[in-house]
Chains A and B, each alone.
Chain A
Amino acid sequence: MSVDQIIQVRDLTKIYKSKKRTGLFRSKKNEVHALKGISFNVDEGEIFGLLGPNGAGKTTLIKILTTLLLPSSGTARVNGFSLEDENGIKASIGAMLMGERGLYWKLTGRENLEYFGALYHVPKSIRKSRIQSLIDLLELEKIVDRTVETYSSGQKMKMVFARALINDAPILMLDEPTNTLDVKEARRLRNIVKNQNELGKTIIYCTHQMYEAEELCHRVGIIDQGQIIALDDPHDLKDSLEDNDILSVEGNIPEIARMAVESIPGVISASMLTKRVNNGSSEERPYLNIVCDNSRTKLPQIISVLSSNGTIIQNIDKKETTLEDVFINITGRSLMDDTRVESSN
């Protein structure tokens, strides 16, 4: 094994067996293939992003790497320990899963940190000073002596993040750590993640927010329907699309118009996607995402085809290439889509 590769994953599969309800008392056996032969390495000291829509298999992968789940097949080594050596792995990682859950609500934040410090066998002599440094780092002073039940969602997330750091492990596994944080707090947390990486920690960062992966990660594995469909430096992933232009068309766009645009020579793809309205709400707006070889020369024809097919155009933008475009280019879907992994009977 290479010393630099702190995590090695080989052909990991996970099949959930469940029952599919077909009536009041009837059910059929059902298999959900959550991971389909995933392989990758994580180098020591890197921030490795796992980017994918909800239901892609990110959390299943993290749960296997944290020994909470056993894979159906395949192997993995974390910090030199195989998945069978649970205690070696558990002592090597600090993890943040399940969002704001995972804290004792009737205890104060400080009591939670003290207890988890004990569970991680952090010696009592250094536990108090470490807790204080985490309180300072995450600016928890005002809330740390209140019971967790009185915290806001964002405060709970910060406390869960502090818990992940309590054992000062060499590897951090963070599953959607900025969910429920406001923009300012999310940015602060990402800065802390960067600092932790600069201090030498290897970080696996799961997200479905492409800008987080672009901002933080040295390498990104794009995961979809249980498979890693692309893996590279974020810039290189985007460079793979640089030869093409991406247009975003908003408005009332019939399906026939989308198909007509897709048939224009030089248009590589035209997909109806949704994006979140940029006003802080959860409202989503549909748009037509067009990938073409030269938008400058194609634009008049695209507008003409759209208009002649009943489209009322409200806005047209030429987009900067993002990791989401890489995802769209490969899958034809947006990262905002909830893509539960396929099941078979």
Chain B
Amino acid sequence: MSQLSLSLQGHLGVVWGTFIVRLKTISRYKGSLSMDIFMPIMFAAMPILLGQAMAGSISEASANFQANTGLTNASYIAYMIIGANVFSTVTASFWLFGFFIRREQILGTLESLFMTPASKTSILAGLAFYVEARSAFTFVLGYLLGCILFGINPLQGQVILALLILLIGLIPIHGLSFLMGALVLKVKQANSLMNSLQWGLGIIMGAFIPVTALPLFIQIVSFIFPGFYLNYGIQAALTGIEWFFGNMYLDLTVIFIFVLICPLVGYWVFSKAESRIKAAEGVGQF
């Protein structure tokens, strides 16, 4: 009989193994990584070009944007490019565990994974590291490329701080992705649900328009969604708009509170859903 050590080293091995497996898999789908870089640029191009067409010029569009949103220091183009990139990384992270569960169900590997003593947290941590690395890579390249294409300075604002907010702000999103995992286990037609919901996410995180310009009930939903503070923080760091609570440290504190709460809530909900599914037809069915 083997001596199986359920030690910290073992758990770290699962985290690292999962991270490497994802990297190797994506390296065999090269087009997918390029799409991650170009998609946000295409998302940003639509409102930028539409705004320009409606206003007559970029400067007119920018003035309209500032007047209608109250963001007096905002660079209209930078706001859209950043919003599109954050939207892209947040949706990828938010569906991370849900997509993972569904993909593994399709491959038939989910039951193989669930038969191992590896903890779901270790597997998610490995997935999360992979998404953080991929997000940082695609965010930087997507942002740089977008700025160059639309003729704005990519090095304006505090780039390092923005990157730090991105990496820390994605942690609660990864935690919430457990909820999506639970949803995928429960809902058979999860893909169409995910596709519909992701545009709702874009709205409540203020990716393309500040939520302060939206109806009150949407603002309330936004304020309890960590993706909103992630987007706002990066916007504030890069474009110079005022921090949401007027102070960088207060904004960061809110993000840290989400870092502590969301993974616990997400994991608890997922565990409950997993138990219910095991009592019903099993995790491999969809």
Binding site for B on A (CB under 8 A): 16-18, 63, 66-70, 72, 86-87, 90-91, 93, 95, 97-98, 101-107, 111, 114-116, 118-124, 147, 163, 167-170
Contact = CB atoms under 8 A, between A and B. Distances in A.
Given A68-B114, A102-B112, A119-B117, 9 more contacts: A70-B278, A90-B115, A91-B6, A106-B25, A111-B21, A120-B118, A121-B11, A121-B14, A167-B2
B2 A105 contact: no
Contacts of B113: 119
B1 A68 contact: no
Interface in B241-284: 275, 278-284
Contact of A119 (B25, B116, B275, B279): B116
A16 to B, nearest CB: 6
B6 A104 contact: no
B1 A169 contact: yes
A115 B17 contact: yes
B70 interface: no
B109 A168 contact: no
A56 B75 CA distance: 67
Nearest to A16: B281
B189 interface: no
Interface in B112-150: 112-118, 123
Contacts of A111: 21, 24
Interface residues of B, number: 40
A106 B278 CA distance: 28
B111 interface: yes
B6 A147 contact: no
B17 A118 contact: yes
- Which applies to chain A's interface (DSSP): helix, strand, loop or mixed? loop
B38 interface: no
A17 to B, nearest CB: 7
Contact of B13 (A70, A103, A104, A118): A118
B117 A120 contact: yes
B2 A116 contact: no
B112 to A, nearest CB: 4
B21 A68 contact: no
Interface string B19-46: 0110011001100000000000000000
B130 to A, nearest CB: 13
Contact of A63 (B2, B108, B282): B282
A97 B113 CA distance: 12
A124 B13 contact: yes
A163 B281 contact: no
B24 A68 contact: no
A170 B3 CA distance: 11
Nearest to B29: A106
A121 B115 contact: no
A118 B112 contact: no
A69 B13 contact: no
B107 interface: yes
Contacts of A101: 107-109
A114 B111 CA distance: 18
A335 to B, nearest CB: 25
Contacts of A93: 115
A233 B109 CA distance: 35
Given A87-B6, A104-B21, A107-B25, A163 B112 contact: yes
